[in-house]
Structure 1
Amino acid sequence: MTDSGFDLGLGDARQAGVFFVTSEDLDSLAAAGRDAALGVRRVDLSGCENKASLMLRLATQLDFPDSTGRNWDALSDNLRDLSWLPAPGYVLLLDQGAELRRRDEAVFDTLLDVLDEAAQFWAGQDVPFWAFLALDEDDFEELDAQGP
């Protein structure tokens, strides 16, 4: 049994990936990630209006090296490295994703692609990499209606 009393299987790299949740789920996911001995980082996306503000927020809250560029390639490279955050796996909790999606859907979609690429990279290394983006419940219905 884990310290929190439940095991979500976050240590399984084959199941890891990018998932939509609600903000209310983030505390439980953080506890489960810590129980699995994974590196847990929470990033508040509120106020991110565009790519520039998103890049700054991620670089700051994920402690990217100072030399990091502020572009999609640099984000992808950093998420596939994380050597400055040594851990047997990673859980990224991205709160207020709905706000970013409403402000700039293209940036939101590209972020999803970059996170998915990172999860696939780490799965190939047998390292769990989870990204949980908190959305509003209305967003789930809209995304379901859009389909894959």
Structure 2
Amino acid sequence: MIDVELGALLADASQAAAYFVDARDRAALVEAANALDFHVAAANLENAGDKAALLREIAAALEFPGGFGANWDALADSLGDLSWLSAPGYLLLLDHCADLREAAPADFATLLEILDEAARAHAGQGVPFWAVLPLASPDA
């Protein structure tokens, strides 16, 4: 069952950004995004212990075109474009991000800034771009 309010939230580009969510809410987010015909992509960051691995995982998940520069500027440019994945909205799931957050806090902070910047750029065109970082709940 799709929560109508969740679908309305995801459709609102002005609310889109990078958000930490309870991992138990992941499936509902994916279901709501699919119902909106969003492009849904998941990057598994379980083994992304550094910037290079992080960039590789995101590039693979979003099928970045060849020639991706594998640096922060290239990530920002690619996330702000996404023209090769034409869709009414985007949901990028960054699964298993906790270890990276601990191992490389500066890189993780830069990633969050770039994700928020991409969301603002897309919102300016009326297109929602959500970056969701599911975290295990402490009581799970």
- Taking structure 2 as the reference length, the TM-score comes to 0.91
C-alpha separation between the residues in 2 aligned to 1:5 and 1:112? 27
Cα displacement string for residues 83-129 of structure 1 (whole angstroms, at most 9, x for unaligned residues): 11110110111111111101111111110000000001111111111
Structure 1 match to 2:14: 14
Number of aligned residue pairs? 135
Structure 1 match to 2:58: 58
User: For the Cα contact (< 8 Å) 1:23–1:96, is it kept in 2?
Assistant: no
Structure 1 match to 2:81: 81
Q: CA RMSD in A?
A: 1.2
Structure 2 match to 1:97: 97
- Taking structure 1 as the reference length, the TM-score comes to 0.86
Identity of aligned residues (%): 47
Runs of 4+ with >6 A deviation = none
Tell me if 1:5 matches 2:2: yes
C-alpha separation between the residues in 2 aligned to 1:88 and 1:5? 18
Report the Cα offset of residue 23 of structure 1: 2.2
- Structure 1 gaps of 5+ residues are 139-148
Counterparts of residues 26-37 of structure 1 (less than 5 Å): 26-37=26-37
Report the Cα offset of residue 37 of structure 1: 1.5
User: For the Cα contact (< 8 Å) 2:18–2:115, is it kept in 1?
Assistant: yes
Q: Which has the higher helix share?
A: 2
Structure 1 match to 2:135: 135
